[in-house]
Amino acid sequence: RLRVFGGALLSTVDLITDVYMTVQFFNTEGEEGYGKTNAILIGLTMFTQLLVSYAQNSKSIKHFFLDAICILTGFKPGLDAYRVGSG
């Protein structure tokens, strides 16, 4: 269980640092292109996660919306770790 929750924590921290660096790129003259690239990659990753979540949970819209909220807020790794850890 510790390994699962540790991995979820690292994944969430990675997303936070990605967003932080994206903001830094946008705030640094001449680096805006890197910020756009990071923002697009983060958006594509979240969009892909939403598509996969919908494909897996299309019969239960309630379950899909819970996953979607967690994906868009960056807490999906924590939710997955909880599901794995609780059996």
pLDDT digit string, tens, across residues 49-85: 999 999 998 899 999 999 999 999 999 999 889 989 8
Q: What is the pLDDT of residues 16-44, one digit of tens each?
A: 999 999 999 999 999 999 999 999 999 99
Instruction: Tell me if 53 sits within 8 A of 67, measured CB to CB.
Output: yes
Intra-chain end-to-end CA distance of the chain, in Å = 10
Q: Is the pLDDT of residue 8 over 80?
A: yes
Instruction: Tell me if 4 sits within 8 A of 85, measured CB to CB.
Output: yes
pTM above 0.85, yes or no: no
pLDDT of res. 86: 87
